[in-house]
Chain A
Amino acid sequence: MLDNMESFETLFIQHFSEESKPIDYYLNSMRGYSALKKALGMTQDDIILEVKKSNLRGRGGAGFPTGMKWGFIPKKSAKPKYLVCNADESEPGTFKDRDIMRYTPHLLIDGMAIAAHAIGANIGYIYIRGEYTRETKILNEAIDEAYKNGYLGKNIQGSEFSFDLTVHRGAGAYICGEETGLLNSLEGKRGEPRVKPPFPAQAGAFGGPTIVNNVETLAAVPFIINRGGDWFSKLGKLEKSGGTRLFCVSGHVKKPGVYELPAGSVTLRQLIYGYCHGILGDKKLKAVIPGGSSAPVLTADEIDVIVDIEPLMKIGTMLGSAGIIVVSEDYCVVKLLKRIVKFYAHESCGQCTPCREGCKWMEDILHRIEDGHGREQDIALLLEVADNINGKTLCALGDAAAGPVISFVKKFRADFEAHIRGGKCPNV
């Protein structure tokens, strides 16, 4: 399986070690802040054009073209503009941003300063999940270093551009990974998603035009500025996806962890059986969740798919945050789905009806089925409840809960039926 893996360039992963943290390493071994200096000599339009050319797409889950997003920010604004880094990394199965912040914090700061310059923002926040206390400390230390060396603060490197950056900790709420929930949380409110429109680019943080980008997205920016959008675009193997991607593989594989590969260059099978050395205990593969726990599940027969946005969409699932969760044959998929739905019910903000009421209802039904008290009509009921949530909620959390339910039942219906008919989990 490993035989057909060609060599390729990586941007991040070779720097994922403790020694990369200090600014000296960043300056000396990663051409640190040279991109920022270069960007300060470029016009805002030129930077955005370069990012558009790079085909960099948001790494947080939605996969929206970053350059296009930046282009939505109005040139002039009565209210201050903001750049916010989404470091909430809350989608189960995702843990790549943590490594970026932990090992290469300056790369993120560099990228944020460039992005802020490009959109004309002088204030930036890194909204980091509250549990990442160590990463918060590392980022704060790096920010101090950057201020001391003139890469943050007033008149950066003697230019007209000033940029203040603050780390803002979340406090335990998945929904704050949703960008408008994040903005409410940043403003000292409950992290409840907002009605859109207005979109953050028009009225975001504190009412000002705001861009929210994921950590990996912003950390890719210095490479793009240094080496050009065309170069970055060509790193990717698909037309619309530039650069490399950090894949997070977890669950029943022999070598879980973060893998960096050119976007669109690898299939799920290659990732699981090649890079991750196959299934734990050499068991059979049962299921793969390809994009964080909200992504519809795939069966063992569906893994010859390129792990990127369009190919996965084509087979009815999504790349999301590239959190790939691998499940072997001896784990009960009903139990797994119940755990997933329990999570979304727990994390529902409670604002909108279908999500608040429906997620808990699905959890209850699944609990019943897993417990062996399921009834014949429960599968149909479960699917109908999921359908009544899907696409009908205020934010994407409803879909995140309904998608797994619909796909698990569709693909593993026999397992659900066995629980109901047998009155218990057939694996036990």
Chain B
Amino acid sequence: MGTKILSKKFYSEMSKLEPRYPNKVALLLPALHAAQDECSWLSPEVLAEVGAYIGIHAAQVREVASFYTMYNLKPVGKYHLKFCTNVACCLRGADSLLEHCEKKLGIHCGETTQDKRFTLAEEECLGACGTAPAMMLNNDYHEVLDIPKLDRILEGLE
């Protein structure tokens, strides 16, 4: 393989984690998380590099990565908004929040704005049902949302 995409930090983090597991394949999920934190999405090249590091076939990396919804196998915007629309959030108005956001950003669920700033997604239960409706903005939770609160959050983003 040519030049590496993933940083030294990635590799040192992984070698710190390695003794924690009885085999290297178990590092796959942590490695994909770390790679995504660096690259914001998991391109085929990144997946190949992760596979080479762990010592498994590129197909196996894709097989695992595509099973989980948190791994972005397509590019995402700078701000990745993931609205929970599961039961408890729906009962508390998640649908109208999502609809509001779609209108405001001018995109549908699953799309990214042309300026690559926002990606809008529908998410399954975030485990924040007591503080519904909830959403994730990148890695952070925002709970007990309503439209004014959502607007304030969006306006606070650069």
Contact = CB atoms under 8 A, between A and B. Distances in A.
A90 interface: yes
A130 B30 contact: no
Nearest to A208: B22
Contacts of A289: 87
A327 B20 CA distance: 45
Contacts of B127: 89-90, 94-95, 97-98, 129, 131-132
In the complex, which of the residues B27, B85, B130 has the most CB atoms of chain A within 10 Å of its own CB atom?
A: B130
A343 interface: yes
A189 B87 contact: no
A206 B22 CA distance: 8
Interface residues of B, number: 41
Contact of B87 (A188, A257, A293): A293
Interface size range of chain A in the complex: 35 or more
Given A170-B29, A347-B124, A250 B23 contact: no
B92 to A, nearest CB: 7
A248 interface: yes
Nearest to B90: A339
A277 B3 CA distance: 61
Interface in A121-167: 123, 129-134, 164, 166
Interface of B: 17, 20-23, 25-30, 32-33, 54, 63-64, 67-71, 85-88, 90-92, 124-132, 136, 139-141
18 contacts: A92-B86, A94-B127, A95-B129, A131-B126, A131-B141, A132-B127, A133-B140, A164-B20, A171-B29, A172-B71, A173-B67, A174-B124, A185-B29, A188-B28, A190-B64, A250-B130, A323-B129, A339-B86
Given A134-B141, A339-B87, 19 more contacts: A90-B125, A93-B125, A98-B127, A123-B22, A130-B68, A170-B68, A171-B29, A171-B68, A172-B69, A186-B26, A187-B26, A188-B25, A188-B29, A190-B63, A206-B23, A256-B131, A325-B88, A327-B91, A339-B86
Which 4 A-B pairs give the minimum distances between C-beta atoms?
A171-B68, A172-B69, A188-B28, A250-B129
Interface of A: 80, 89-95, 97-98, 123, 129-134, 164, 166, 168-174, 185-192, 206, 248-252, 256-258, 289, 293, 323, 325, 327, 331, 336, 339-340, 343, 346-347, 349
